[in-house]
Amino acid sequence: MSRIYIVDDEPMICLGLQQIVKEYDRFEEVHTYSDGRSALAAILAEPPDLVMTDIRMPRMDGIELCRHIREHRLDTQVIVLSGYGDFHYAQQCMSYGVKQYLLKPVTESELYPVLDQIVIKGSGRPFSLSRFEAWMERVEEALWLAQEDRLEAELDEGRREFFEPGGGGIAPPLRMAADGLELLAKKLNARGIYSFEIASGQVGADAAEAGAFHAFSAQIHHWLRQLSAYRGGGQVHVFEAALEFIDRHLCEDLTLETVAARLGLTPTYFSHYFKKMSGETFVQYRLRKRMDEAKRLLSIPHYKIIDIVSEVGYDSYPHFSRIFKKTAGCSPTEYRSMLGIK
C-alpha cells in the first residue's frame, strides 16, 4: 500500500499511532489529522489506501467520516478506533463497510495483524497507488517516444500487476482501465502538441470485466498509431533533440531537469537514457561541450576572456578558470599564449 491517513483529536495518540505505522514499514506516506472534517477534505482531494480513525472527534466524528467515504464510493479501507466498548458504534461503522474495529489504546501486537490482513490478504499482495501512478508515467513516456518494445513490456507488466486476478489492483478492472486512460489522456494532452481523446464506449459500463485490459491496451495502441500518423511515421529522436537543445543553451544555467522537461521525460529516465546513448553523464557532456566552445572562442583573438566566461555558461572568471585548467591542463590565458595570441 502507499498512503494511510490517521485521524484522532488526541495529539499523543495520533503521534503514537503514526510511529507504530511507520515502524510497520509498508506505507510510503503516513499523514495525520486532528478532526474528521479536515481529514475528509484530504481524503476527497487525494484518496488514501487506508484510513485509521477515532470515533469521537470534534467537527466531524468517525462515524460521519465513514459515511462520507462510503457515499463517495472510494476504494479507501477503514480501521475504526474507539475508547468506548460500545457495540452500537461498531454496528454503525460496519453499516458503512468498515470491517475492522479496535479498542484504544492500540498496541503493535493488536494493530499489525489487522494491517497484515488488509494489506496482504485484502488485495492478494500489497497495492501501492504510487506504483500504479509510476507505471502510468512509464507507459505514457514509452507511448510518447513511440518505443513499441518498451511499451509492450510495460503493458505486459501492468496487466500482471494490476488487472489479473490476485494482482495488486484494489479497484474493479473496468474502473482501473477507465481511470488509467483518463490519466494518460491528460498527460498526453498536457504536452500541448497533439490532441488525444478516449474513444466513445472504449471502456464502457457494458464491457465485460474480463475485457477491461484488452480495451485499455487497444486504446493505447490507437494513440500509438495516431502519434505515428501525426509524425509521418517516425519516432521522436530524443537523443538528437537533447544534444541540439544542450548545444543551443550552453550559455544558460542548464540542468538535467530542464532538458528532461523540455523533452517530456522524467529526469531519472533521461539521465539513464543519455548515459546509455552517449557514454557520458549529462554533466560530463555539458562540461566537455562548454570547454570545447571555450577553446574555440579563445582561438578568436578579438574575443575577451571575460566575455567568453558568460558565453559558455559560467557566472565568474575564477570558477571558469579553475574548471578550464582542470580539464585543459592550463589556464585560459596560457591556452591563448600557446596559440600565439596575446
- In angstroms, rounded to a whole number, what is the distance separating the alpha carbons of residues 61 and 36? 6
Question: Is the pLDDT reported for residue 88 higher than 80?
Answer: no
- Give tens-digit pLDDT for 44-87: 998 898 999 988 888 888 888 988 998 888 888 888 887 665 55
Is 141 found in the same domain as 224? yes
Q: Which residue has the higher pLDDT, 198 or 92?
A: 198
Tell me: do 243 and 323 sit in the same domain.
yes
| Chosen domain end from 230, 247, 272 | 230
Both 15 and 65 in a single domain? yes
Same domain, 182 and 217: yes
Count of structural domains, the chain? 3
Question: Quick one: 33 and 83 in the same domain?
Answer: yes
* Residue of higher predicted confidence among 52 and 101: 52
pLDDT the model gives residue 122: 47
pLDDT at residue 205 tops 60: no
Burial 255-279 (b: 16+ CB within 10 A, else e): ebeebbeebbbbeebbbebbeeeee
Q: Are residues 187 and 164 in the same domain?
A: yes
pLDDT beyond 50 at 245: yes
- Mean residue pLDDT of the chain comes to 81
Residues 53, 72: one domain?
yes
- Distance between terminal CA atoms of the chain? 67
pTM of the model: 0.40
Cα distance between residue 10 and residue 316, in whole Å: 55
Residue 225 binned pLDDT confidence (cut-offs 50, 70, 90): confident
| pLDDT recorded at residue 206 | 46
Residue type for position 43:
I
Q: What would the pLDDT profile of 281-314 be if each residue is shown by its tens digit?
A: 999 999 999 999 999 999 998 889 999 999 899 9
Residue ranges making up the domain that contains 68: 3-121
* Dist. CA 208–CA 222, nearest whole Å: 20
Dihedral angle of Cα 22, 24, 30, 35, to the nearest 10 degrees? -100
pLDDT at residue 129 in the model = 59
Number of neighbours of residue 72 by Cβ within 10 angstroms:
12
Q: Which of 230, 251, 283 is the last residue of a domain?
A: 230
Over its C-alpha atoms, the chain yields an Rg (Å, rounded) of 28
> What percent of the chain stands above pLDDT 90?
23
Residues 48 and 141 occupy one common structural domain: no
Q: Are residues 114 and 36 in the same domain?
A: yes
The residue among 100, 121, 142 that closes a domain is: 121
| pLDDT score of 176 more than 80 | no
